[in-house]
Amino acid sequence: MEWFITMLGLPEAVGLVDVTVLAVASFFASMLSAAAGIGGGVALLAVMAQILPGLAIVPVHGAVQWGSIAGRVVLLRAHVNWQLVLYFLVGSVVGAFIGGQVVVSLPVAYIQLILGVFILYSTWGPKPKLERANEKVLLVCGLLSTILTMFVGATGPFVSVVLKRMNLGKFIQVATMSSCLVFQHSAKVVVFALLGFSFAPYVPLIVLLVAVGFVGTVIGRQLLDRISEALFTKILSVVLTLLAVRLLWFAGNQLLVG
């Protein structure tokens, strides 16, 4: 099956088994996002961190997330609060350039360490609480979360907390958050490209993962309805924890050896 990898034009470091694992991960991550609104990005990030080269994890994840979330925005475009999205976008553009200047200089071991800690915190740590939020808070959120996403890839839970405090209603909440994340990932992809990361070798993989993720989004709720939410959450938390511990183990070994 090596001809399939050659046909896709993927880097030599990514084999057929890796492509299969990533495709399955994209499918289930999209299922999770379709059912719960958030969480899929972190799950996909955790799997990508086990397979892709260190410096490719965040930019490739950002491109896949952009493609996956864009479809949701198109479907819910009538519910988007574009004024809030504009404030978030301004912060995101600034944050992407600030974060991009730092992340490209980090050794792979430090990126793995940051990812491992972030995944563990997102899974088990307390979520920030806000008494209230407004447009200015959202601008700051765009700035800080985009700086953070340049390192850890998935900051949907952080953005969700801010928008939730605005009491927008379910449809506006989901549509506006999705739009914010689309622009955030767009800014991130552009900055990584300007800083020299070559997306070309990963374009076939990105297209494949977006397509598979779309299928997961469409049928996600039907399949997830058969599993209790409590059981699904426990299983996901255990899997994410194991993946994060594996990342921390690799990072620790590299740092100690270095």
Tokens of 61: 């994840």
Q: Please name the residue that has the structure tokens 């622009």.
A: 183
**pTM listed for this prediction:** 0.73
Rounded mean pLDDT, 210-237: 71
Which DSSP helix (H) or strand (E) runs through 136? helix 135-152
Three-state SS at 130: coil
Q: What is the pLDDT of residue 171?
A: 75
- Structural domains in the chain (count): 1
What is the C-alpha to C-alpha distance for residues 139 and 143, in angstroms, rounded to an integer? 6
> Does residue 2 register a pLDDT over 60?
no
Tokens of 107: 């050794």
Question: What secondary structure does DSSP assign to 33-91, as a single string?
Answer: HHHHSSSHHHHHHHHHHHHS-GGGHHHHHHHHHHHHHHHHHHHTGGG--HHHHHHHHHH
pLDDT tens digit sequence for 146-158: 887 777 666 776 6
Q: Please name the residue that has the structure tokens 């939730």.
A: 164
Tokens of 213: 């993720």
Q: What is the residue range of 227's domain?
A: 2-257
Q: What is the pLDDT of residue 101?
A: 73
Query: Average pLDDT over the chain, rounded to whole?
Result: 78
Q: What is the pLDDT of residue 86?
A: 92
What is the C-alpha to C-alpha distance for residues 41 and 156, in angstroms, rounded to an integer? 7
Rounded mean pLDDT, 54-77: 84
Higher pLDDT, 101 or 117: 117
Rounded mean pLDDT, 60-81: 85
> Does residue 4 register a pLDDT over 60?
no
Lowest mean pLDDT among 65-74, 184-193, 209-218, 232-241: 232-241
Q: What is the pLDDT of residue 140?
A: 86
Decide if 117 contacts 109 (C-beta within 8 A): no
> Does residue 11 register a pLDDT over 70?
no
Q: What is the pLDDT of residue 172?
A: 82
Question: What secondary structure does DSSP assign to 188-242, as a single string?
Answer: HHHHHHHTT---GGGHHHHHHHHHHHHHHHHHHHHHHTTS-HHHHHHHHHHHHHH
Q: What is the pLDDT of residue 63?
A: 92
> Does residue 14 register a pLDDT over 60?
yes
Lowest mean pLDDT among 49-63, 87-101, 104-118, 185-199: 104-118
Q: How many CB atoms lie within 10 A of CB 51?
A: 17
